[in-house]
Amino acid sequence: MGLLFQHLCSRLSVVTGRNMALENRLEYPANLRLLIWVSVELASIAADLGYVMGTATALSILFGLQLHWGVLLTGLDTFIALGLQSFGIRKVTPRRRPRRPRRRAAAGSGAAPRTGRPGRRH
């Protein structure tokens, strides 16, 4: 359902040039917009609760932690990651592997040496 909603929102943005928040502001009165905002926040909290409980259950299975300690550890981990990002430390991203040197074509193999930019033959 979420994927369908994201697809529809992206189509709306491509066609009209406006996002869903702007469309809601232009279309609905203030009271209804407040109700929509509260319901979306509650849905977000419910989705995050599933992630937290899943992580706490995994910690319980793997390490034998009690469930409430797993929830606290997951919350602490989240706040540490958010705090580090606010200090300018970037998210952990996978490192790129160093490029290996290319092999040269054997003499007499008929292969022309590559020149220029990678991915182009001259």
- Please work out, in degrees rounded to the nearest 5, the angle formed at the alpha carbon of residue 18 by the alpha carbons of 13 and 22: 130
Q: Is residue 100 part of a domain?
A: no
In this predicted structure, the answer to whether residue 122 has a pLDDT above a threshold of 80 is no
Structural domain span for residue 31 = 9-86
- Split into its structural domains, the chain has a count of 1
Picking from 35-44, 59-68, 92-101, which range would have the lowest pLDDT averaged per residue? 92-101
**Would you state the pLDDT for residue 120?**
54
Are 113 and 122 a contacting pair, CB within 8 Å? no
Q: Is residue 112 part of a domain?
A: no
In this predicted structure, the answer to whether residue 116 has a pLDDT above a threshold of 90 is no
Regarding pTM above 0.75, the answer is no
Are 35 and 43 a contacting pair, CB within 8 Å? no
Q: Is residue 19 part of a domain?
A: yes
Are 12 and 23 a contacting pair, CB within 8 Å? yes
**Would you state the pLDDT for residue 101?**
72
Q: Is residue 74 part of a domain?
A: yes
CA distance 57 to 63: 10
Q: Is residue 118 part of a domain?
A: no
Residue tagged 């609760």 (tokens): 49
What is the average pLDDT across 34-47? Answer: 93
In this predicted structure, the answer to whether residue 68 has a pLDDT above a threshold of 80 is yes
CA distance 119 to 50: 45
| pLDDT tens-place string over residues 22-32 | 999 999 999 99
Q: Is residue 122 part of a domain?
A: no
Q: Is residue 37 part of a domain?
A: yes
What is the average pLDDT across 23-48? Answer: 93
Q: Is residue 30 part of a domain?
A: yes
